[in-house]
Amino acid sequence: MHYRRRRAARGLGVALAAGLLALGTLAPAAAATAPARIILVSHCPNTVQQGQASGCVTELQTLLNAHGASLTVDGDFGSATTTAVKAYQTSQGLTSDGLVGPATKSALYYEDPSVPIDLRSLRCPVQLETDENDGCVTELQNKLNSNGAGLTVDHDLGAATVTAVRNYQTSHGLTATGLVDPPTKAELYGDAAPQQPADLGSGRYAAVVSYAQQATGQNIQYVWGGGHEDGAFSFGPSIGICDDYGGSIQPCPADKEVGLDCSGFTRWLYWRAGAGDIGQTTRDQVVNPKLAQVSAAGAIPGDLVYFGGSASTVHHVGVYIGNGLMINASHTGTYVRQDTVASHSDLLGYYHVTGVTSAALADSLAGPAPHEAG
């Protein structure tokens, strides 16, 4: 069974292809609500049920709302949540007992690949990949067919679809790469051609904090290797990789999921603020001459905070937002979220992204370094 973790529909229709993806702002959750935790894996009970209160319940309520419920997402499994679970189970032909066991969990995450998904949303990778099989490909095939491709709509990005993409790109004055990248998406939807974000100068730090805060409300999951596609407009959520994966969730889910790893997240934010490419991996970033280490007392919101024993062993990065807090893509099984800097014991230091010249921006578009997940 193919599934992709659902993201609740929260106004994600603005295109990455437009250069600056304006994510919808959300009302902040109550302070006591536990951060969502993916319920398919071992940190959640085998059966999630009434009386429990945890991030597993937060996730459950979010998923139920994505399926049409209208629950208050408070992380507390009460009678309203039980009613919503029973209604969902009935709609899916499952035993309507209000107990969220393996069958109900799998159904909640399953997405029918025949249902089209807007290519510009965060539910689709910034650049669709060969052999991808999901609703994003269904949407692509429908769009290509509306331009005369004559494809069988089978939600599989195989050789015939790649050929149709190349033909479409050639006929519309695009480089015929066969890659469904933001310029191709923009052309398919009749959107304006994507532009490189302008450097926001001293305003980049506040913008990075704003973008990071917006991302915490979008259920963007941590994916090993996510956010490291090639190309001038390739920044943002992508399907990950399983090379060198060492996460606790086995088998590795990364090559079937869309999201960001820690360095892919910070790379995306600073690109959106016009800083170009600050580096693909934590090791690339921490030695980038665009970054200068500052003291904890001198750090400002928008600076980056790195963890590890040294620059050669750095393994994690987050965006400092002040008051000892950071926003980060933490690890497999979590979403982009707010944590304390002190939640990691091996602080390497705070780093400030310095001014970006047009030459530096041009250099950053020449192509990323060899891939390594942060």
Coil, helix or strand at residue 177: coil
pTM: 0.79
pLDDT of residue 300 exceeding 50: yes
Percent of the chain with pLDDT over 90: 70
Tell me the C-alpha to C-alpha distance, in Å, between residue 11 and each of 29, 123, 198, 258.
17, 12, 24, 18
pLDDT value at residue 305: 98
The token pair that represents 216 in the structure block: 């915490």
CA distance 306 to 127: 28
Report yes or no: 363 and 276 within 8 Å, Cβ to Cβ.
yes
Q: What is the mean pLDDT of residues 283-306?
A: 96
Q: What is the mean pLDDT of residues 86-105?
A: 93
Q: What is the mean pLDDT of residues 57-86?
A: 94
CA distance 196 to 98: 49
pLDDT value at residue 355: 67
pLDDT value at residue 112: 81
Average pLDDT over the chain, rounded to whole? Answer: 86
CA distance 130 to 116: 17
* Cα dihedral 54/302/234/261 (nearest 10): -40
pLDDT value at residue 32: 63
Q: What is the mean pLDDT of residues 85-107?
A: 93
pLDDT of residue 185 exceeding 60: yes
pLDDT value at residue 356: 57
pLDDT digits (tens, 9 = 90+) for 321-363: 999 999 999 999 889 999 999 999 899 999 999 865 444 444 4
Percent of the chain with pLDDT over 70: 86
Q: Which of 270, 289, 267 is nearest to 368 (CA)?
A: 267
Coil, helix or strand at residue 307: strand
Which helix (H) or strand (E) segment is 328 a member of? strand 325-328
pLDDT value at residue 363: 45
